[in-house]
Amino acid sequence: MLHEAYPVIPGLFNLVYVLNPGAAFGFLADASATFRYVFFTGITVVAAGLIVYYLVKTNPRNLILASSLTLIFGGAIGNLIDRIRFGSVVDFLDFYLGAAHWPAFNVADSAITVGAALMIWEMILHRKEKKTKSG
């Protein structure tokens, strides 16, 4: 049932059923359904196109960058599928400690987050590599 929680690790982790009509942390959740649909679908399609473009241009030996782009792409498409099917993204992972809850999220959100973290790591490594070569 919507908003029902199933404790998996009491005091730490529940499975829940939450529909998020907005983006991260409920961004634009109060906007009209039509605006959200057009906005989030359009942004996702543009982002997916850019990701595919950069994947094609990426050196195949750069596994960190290719992995990060692939994770972000997969997560974006996963959330897009939810948005098209349900008009909202289905979130179901609920981590908390006592009364402090992290906002519920899903596997697609996790893939986007891990992909972004890998991309930042790659950028830091690449920057250090450039400094080493030039200096």
Express each pLDDT in 1-17 by its tens digit: 999 999 999 999 999 99
| Catalytic machinery residues | 91, 109
Amino acid at 7: P
User: Which is higher by pLDDT, 61 or 50?
Assistant: 50
Q: Is the pLDDT of residue 110 over 80?
A: yes
Q: Rounded CA gap, 89 and 81, in Å?
A: 8
Q: Residue with structure tokens 């992995």?
A: 67
Give pLDDT, residue 134: 65
Express each pLDDT in 56-103 by its tens digit: 999 888 999 999 999 999 999 999 999 999 999 999 999 999 889 999
Which residues touch 46 (CB under 8 Å, ≥6 apart)? none
The residue extents of the domains of the chain are: 5-134
Q: How far is CA 15 from CA 75, 95, 110, in A?
A: 19, 9, 15
Q: Is the pLDDT of residue 131 over 80?
A: no
Six-digit token string for 56 = 């094609």
**Under a CB-based contact definition with an 8 Å cutoff, are residues 97 and 11 in contact?**
yes
Give pLDDT, residue 29: 82
Q: DSSP per residue over 87-102, as a string?
A: SSEEEEEEEEETTEEP
∠ Cα 100 75 35 (to 5°): 85
